[in-house]
Amino acid sequence: METVTAILVDGGFYRKQARKLFGEKPPKDRADELISYCRRHLKSDFDGEEKRLYRIFYYDCPPSEKTIYNPLTQKSVNLKKSSQYSWTKDFFKELSHQRKVALRMGELLESKAGYSLSNSALNKLLRKEISVDDLTENDLIMDIQQKGVDMKIGLDIASLAYKKLVNQIILIAGDSDFVPAAKHARREGIDFVLDPMWHTVKDSLMLHIDGKETKTGKPGENYKDKLCILTPPEL
């Protein structure tokens, strides 16, 4: 029986892990890399036969246009004028032009937007290895929560399974918010595979998937194929 595969990508998660695994890249290169990486999952592990791609679903939120206060510099930052804003807009535009890619956009919970200390900086402060005066902007993390992305992923998993549109779902994500959707898909006979891109996976999610597979080497490994540069055939 032909394997028809849908690939669902938690965009915020992918962008973060891709920076760790493959380094910083321009928007077009990152978009090409994403498609190339997804296509690695279409190669059968058993007989080498190419699976048929139903669609790549990419879930993310538009970049924030909010002006927020930086407690370290004591200045307001207009996020719409930041390089990250323009990079993200260009990245989404590049993805939208790719064949068989569907963008599913959520919203940002901007009422709680702000800066927080990184875990490493907080631990150093608590151990009294550094003082507040030693903090730099690299020790701050912009904290803007997403709204609706996990729900959209769950609904699409349920819809794909219920309508029998595919018989395999590849989920590129790293947390356990998708347990109910994964359980539903498996009850409908879907082969449900998780790709956490070497992120730690909770046992609560591992109990409800059919397999775990990452298509690149671990961070720091001397892995010649690690940069994920492929020339995929037409989708």
Give the model confidence (pLDDT) of 216-229 as tens digits: 988 766 444 544 44
Confidence of residue 47 (pLDDT cuts 50, 70, 90): low
Domain edges within the chain: 4-212
| Cβ count near 80 (within 10 Å) | 13
CA atoms within 13 A on the CB side of 172: 30
CA–CA distance, 40 with 7 (Å, rounded to integer): 11
pLDDT-wise least confident of 1-10, 14-23, 72-81, 91-100: 72-81
Give the model confidence (pLDDT) of 140-189 as tens digits: 887 777 778 899 999 999 999 999 999 999 999 987 678 899 999 999 99
Q: Which residues pair with 90 in a beta bridge?
A: none
Global pTM reads 0.84
Contacts of 90 (CB under 8 A, 6+ apart): 27, 28
CA–CA distance, 39 with 36 (Å, rounded to integer): 5
| Cβ count near 120 (within 10 Å) | 10
Cβ atoms of 159 and 183 closer than 8 Å: no
- Can you give the length of the chain in residues? 235
Query: Residue 78, SS3?
Result: strand
> Nearest to residue 139, comparing CAs of 208, 71, 41?
71
Element at 116 (helix H, strand E):
strand 107-117
| Cβ count near 14 (within 10 Å) | 24
CA atoms within 13 A on the CB side of 136: 1
